[in-house]
Amino acid sequence: MSPTTIAVRPRTLRRRIAAVAAVGIVGGAAVAAVLAPEAQAAPAGCETIRWGFLGSQLRTICDGPREADGGWQRARRVWTPAGYVPLRVSCSAYSCTSTGGYHRAESTQGYEEYRVYDSNVLPDEPGWLPAGSVRVL
């Protein structure tokens, strides 16, 4: 049997290479997301949500017990979990290369404690979070 030559137009070849590169990038990102360490679960009476630019940070709100006057103490922390910052990927017409990447330690951008009543809960915050409730959104 003799070898067969298949003619492929340059434009079609570029599209196929780009498709294979895109599948590799998406697959690599999916594997990184699966292998990344999970965010720590919030303590009882707390809520953690994505926060900041494109959800790059987390906001955790923890409430103390209700007191006789109906108020409670609230702690709010805006933070970034530890993890590996993704690689930079650059693609040209025929290939993709990746460079960079580094480990980022957990950091706190803001921490506040303040008194809250049902009448003055901020619009973007939940009402009282009773002990034993854990919400990670």
Q: Model pTM greater than 0.85?
A: no
Tell me the C-alpha distance between 11 and 91, whole Å: 16
Tell me the C-alpha distance between 58 and 73, whole Å: 20
Question: What tens digit of pLDDT does each residue of 37-90 get?
Answer: 444 554 568 999 999 888 889 999 999 999 999 999 999 999 999 988 778 878
Q: With residue 48 as reference, give the H or E element that holds it.
A: strand 46-51
Residue 5 counted as domain residue: no
pLDDT > 90: what percent of the chain?
42
CB 36 within 8 A of CB 83: yes
Residue 6 counted as domain residue: no
Q: Using CA atoms of 111, 120, 127, 125 in order, give the dihedral in degrees to the nearest 10.
A: -50
Q: Total domain count for the chain?
A: 1
Residue 118 counted as domain residue: yes
CA 104 to chain centre: 13
